[in-house]
Structures are given as structure tokens and as C-alpha cells.
Homo-oligomer: A and B are copies of this chain.
Amino acid sequence: MSRPNTLTKGKLLNDIHAVIERSGLSDGGCVSFHHHLRNGDGVMNLILTALGEAGLKGLHLEATSLFPVHAPLVALVEKGVIASIATSYMSGPLAHAISRGALKTPVRLRTHGGRARALDSGEQRIDVAFVAASAADCRGNLSARTGRAPFGVLGYPMADVGAAQHVVAVTDTIVPFPACPIDLSQDRVDMVLQVDRIGDPAGIGSGATRPAMDPQSVAIAGQAADVIAASGQLIPGFSFQTGAGGISIATAQAVGQAMTTHGVQGSFACGGISGFHVKMLEAGLFRSLMDVQCFDLEAVASRSRNSAHQSMSASAYAGPHVGGAVVDELSAVVLGAAQVDTDFNVNVTTRSDGLIIGGSGGHADAAQGAALTVVTTRLTAAGFAKVVPKVTTLTTPGSCVDVVVTGAGIAVNPANAALQDRLGAGGLPVVSIQDLAAKAAVQASQATPPRASGRVVAQSEHREGYVLDEIRMIE
């Protein structure tokens, strides 16, 4: 017999004011969001605009990533609705505004694993975690695999849910109880806010998720695959991560070809997952995919139909605090770079002139975890050298990088002498990193600008939580 219970008042709301009232969110509070809808996300703009209209000020925004679609947040920064930001990646107008001094408080740029560490450890508390869901039921069971804008997995907000005083699901699709399949259970969700539209699923796959076809990229990808083959890592049980850039995908194709040729069955591929990972799984090259976010709709569909396509939380993926994360089991990772320097340090956070264009995401986590960390880059881009004496911004320490592949030569970190020997013995064109920097300098038509000297607008944080580098205001 059901009895009245003060705790069971309905979770289903359709008004942000009710969320504010129930959560007690007030000026200076911390709100968090995740980025599985990527550049198709409609939730962060909608909620933060509504919080601003409700009169809230001075909020701390704890976002997993920020994209060009979040341009409307610039106005909220200017109005003082948002007073500070921590994120793992930011690009587009908001990032540019930060670089030009829009915020007084420096933005904290964390790695995906470092962010999970900060939340799990209690270093960063959240007042209200907003969790986008493509479908939800009235009790707060959330699905990322059904509804109008399915995005596949809920890897990132798991840490937010654990750290938050209040968890608010945001959905445009209410389904009968129980939601199926459930990606986040009702006992972790306090309220369900129904909105017209959580975003545009077409925006999920907005990044480059096709292999690069130009000769230079194909050459770099081929060399990266050769490095992996020669490294001794390409053995049964091989595990692999790449980004979603064109060179990374071309590298994955070349590695897949090498696996087929050598009859190597791998164990898993991990990270953000795209259609090309799905093809490798379905071709039997890997036993499992470990997916923290889907990079395209092919990955979303695979997650729905294939139990070997597994989800994982940010902590499981990349946490430096969990006694061994999935990245720590990687045989090899192939990562991109905006700049690499002669100490093998990598910058994926700013342009040469210091303008914020990204951030670590999982870059520094995977680089530290993997047995073999391969960084691919051209020597120059837009006239600027990409292999330089000193990176403009330090994202990933050179001590985590084994080898830099440029298409114009391969440089091995001297700390990994065994790898240097293997690649040399394999006949690969190994040169010194200084040689690559010299070639890049010759090829560059523009000088690397001096470091900006304005006040600090952002801090690049090591995954363990200390500040690796500072990013300064650009005039």
C-alpha cells in the first residue's frame, strides 16, 4: 500500500525555477555539464541562459568541454552570470573571448582524468550537475541510446553525479517507466527537467572523423603505423587509442591493415569512439571497445546493438587516482599536436600566438598511460613551425611522449633508448628532434610569436592537479 512519503514528490519538472528552488542554487554556485552532444549541444546554452534570466550571478561552470556552439556563453560571461570556468577543452568564440580577457578568474584547463580526480577526491564540489539525456522516465532513469538525439554513452558525467549535491537530468523525451536501456539509474538523479530540444544529433559527428587523404597525411599515418609495428607492441592483445582527427584515423586504418597482415587480434580500442573503431571491432581486430563518448552516429548505433561495445566513466577511462585506468592498459596511443618541442613537450591547448584553441581532453592521460605514445604532426601549419624549441603552452609533458612522427622524419625520445634501437633496426628514418625543429624552422614562413605577456587567463593543469603552465591574455 503506497503511503505518502515526503521524499517521493515528483521528480519531473518543466521549469528551471523549480530546479533553482529545489536545489537552493544561488549566486556563486557551481554547475556542471557534459559534452556528449559535442557541437550539437543545446543544453548548456539553454540552462545557463535560463539561470541568468532568473537573476543568478557569479556561477562557476564545470564543463567537460566547450565548443563553438557555446558562443552564447560569451554574453553570460560579460554579464557576470558566469564568473569562472573549469573545462578539459574549449574552442570557438568562448575560448577566444577568454584569451582576450573576458574572465577575471583564470580558466582551469584539466585533463579528462584530472577532472574526474578533482571531483572524486572532493577537491571540486558541484552544487547542481546537469546531465543531458536523450530519454528519461519519471523516476529519473536516463538513457543515452533512445529518444530524438541519442548520443550513445554517458561516460563523462558519472564523476559529476558522484560529486554533486543535486543531479538534474535534462531531456526532450520522456518515456514510460522504466526507461530501457538505462545508462544512469534513478537513484542517482534528483530531478528531471523536460525541455523542447536537447540538441542536434548531427552536431555529434561534427569533428573530422574521416581518414585524411592528402599525400602528406597519408605518409605520416603510414610512418606512425610502421613505428607501432616496429616497436614490438603489435602482438596478440594489442590495445589502441587514437583521436578523431584525419591523420589519427588514417593511422588507425594502417594499423588495422598491419594487424590483419600479421594475424594479430587485439584486446580493445578506447577513448572517444568513431565508426572506424566500430569497423575494426566488427572485423574481429579487437575483442571490445571501451567508449567514454561517441564521436559519430555509427558509434551510437554500435553501442546500442553490440554488447562488446562497452561504456566507461571518465574515472575508469583516464583517472590517475583509481589504481590503474583503462589508459594504463594501452599498448599504443596516437595523438596529435598543435606544437611539439625539442623536449618532446606537446601543446594542444593554444595556437603559436597563445590563443586558446583546445586543451588536453584525454591527451595527457593517454600519453602517460600508454606503453607507446606516438605524436603525429606536420612540420608546419599556416606558415608556423609546429616542431619548435619550446612549446607556447605545455599540455602534455615530454616525459610521457616516446616518439614524434612528422612524415619528414621520426624522432624518438632519448629516454626510450630501446625504442630508438628497435626503430633504427627496422629501417625507419629516425632523426633527432633537434633536426626536426631545424627543418621546421626552415620550412616556416612566419616566426613563432613571443609568449603573450598579459595577465593569466587560463592555467594548464597536470592530471594530478598542479599547474603545468599559464596562458596569458592576448591583446
Interface, chain A (partner B; CB < 8 A): 1-3, 5, 7-9, 11, 139-140, 176-178, 180-182, 185-187, 190, 237, 239, 267-268, 287-288, 290, 307-308, 310, 312-313, 315-316, 319-326, 328-329, 367-373, 399-402, 413, 415-416
* Residue contacts A-B, CB under 8 angstroms, 14 given: A2-B369, A7-B320, A7-B321, A9-B323, A139-B325, A176-B287, A178-B267, A178-B310, A180-B308, A180-B310, A182-B310, A185-B312, A185-B313, A186-B316
How far, in Å, is A97 (CB) from chain B's closest CB? 35
Which chain B residues lie closer than 8 Å to A321 at the CB level? 7
Q: Are B1 and A307 in contact (CB under 8 A)?
A: no
Q: Are A368 and B323 in contact (CB under 8 A)?
A: no
Q: Are A401 and B313 in contact (CB under 8 A)?
A: no
Which chain B residue shows the least CB distance to A11?
B323
In the bound complex, CA of A267 to CA of B74 (Å): 45
Which chain B residues lie closer than 8 Å to A370 at the CB level? 1-2
Which chain B residues lie closer than 8 Å to A399 at the CB level? 1, 3
In the bound complex, CA of A267 to CA of B141 (Å): 14
Q: Are B326 and A186 in contact (CB under 8 A)?
A: yes
How many copies of this chain does the complex contain? Answer: 2
Q: Are A322 and B371 in contact (CB under 8 A)?
A: no
Which chain B residues lie closer than 8 Å to A190 at the CB level? 323
Which chain B residues lie closer than 8 Å to A316 at the CB level? 185-187
How far, in Å, is A330 (CB) from chain B's closest CB? 9
Which chain B residues lie closer than 8 Å to A5 at the CB level? 320, 328
Choice from B11, B178, B324 contacting A11 with Cβ under 8 Å: B324
Which chain B residues lie closer than 8 Å to A323 at the CB level? 7-9, 11, 139-140, 190
Q: Are B180 and A400 in contact (CB under 8 A)?
A: no
Which chain B residue shows the least CB distance to A402?
B1
How far, in Å, is A458 (CB) from chain B's closest CB? 25
How far, in Å, is A108 (CB) from chain B's closest CB? 22
Q: Are B1 and A324 in contact (CB under 8 A)?
A: no
In the bound complex, CA of A177 to CA of B322 (Å): 16
Which chain B residues lie closer than 8 Å to A178 at the CB level? 267-268, 288, 290, 310, 326, 329
Q: Are A416 and B176 in contact (CB under 8 A)?
A: no
In the bound complex, CA of A312 to CA of B178 (Å): 11
In the bound complex, CA of A316 to CA of B137 (Å): 13
Q: Are A180 and B3 in contact (CB under 8 A)?
A: no
Q: Are B187 and A1 in contact (CB under 8 A)?
A: no
How far, in Å, is A248 (CB) from chain B's closest CB? 18
Q: Are A267 and B176 in contact (CB under 8 A)?
A: yes
Q: Are B1 and A287 in contact (CB under 8 A)?
A: no
Which chain B residue shows the least CB distance to A403?
B1
Which chain B residues lie closer than 8 Å to A8 at the CB level? 323-324, 328
Which chain B residues lie closer than 8 Å to A416 at the CB level? 1
Q: Are B324 and A186 in contact (CB under 8 A)?
A: yes
In the bound complex, CA of A312 to CA of B139 (Å): 13
A-B pairs, top 7 by smallest CB distance, nearest first, are A187-B322, A187-B315, A187-B316, A8-B324, A185-B316, A180-B288, A1-B402
Starting from the known contacts A180-B308, A186-B326, 19 additional A-B residue pairs (CB-CB under 8 Å) come to: A1-B401, A1-B413, A1-B416, A2-B328, A2-B370, A3-B400, A5-B320, A7-B321, A7-B322, A11-B323, A139-B324, A139-B325, A178-B268, A180-B288, A181-B310, A186-B322, A187-B315, A187-B319, A187-B322
Q: Are A368 and B315 in contact (CB under 8 A)?
A: no
Which chain B residues lie closer than 8 Å to A2 at the CB level? 328, 368-371
Which chain B residues lie closer than 8 Å to A181 at the CB level? 307, 310
How far, in Å, is A270 (CB) from chain B's closest CB? 9
Q: Are A367 and B1 in contact (CB under 8 A)?
A: yes
How far, in Å, is A65 (CB) from chain B's closest CB? 20
Which chain B residues lie closer than 8 Å to A313 at the CB level? 185, 187
In the bound complex, CA of A124 to CA of B415 (Å): 49
Which chain B residues lie closer than 8 Å to A326 at the CB level? 139, 178, 186
How far, in Å, is A213 (CB) from chain B's closest CB? 30
Which chain B residue shows the least CB distance to A159?
B187
Which chain B residues lie closer than 8 Å to A139 at the CB level? 323-326, 328-329
Which chain B residues lie closer than 8 Å to A367 at the CB level? 1
In the bound complex, CA of A186 to CA of B326 (Å): 8
Known A324-B8, A324-B11; contact A329-B1, beta-carbon cutoff 8 A = no
How far, in Å, is A184 (CB) from chain B's closest CB? 10
Which chain B residues lie closer than 8 Å to A140 at the CB level? 323-324
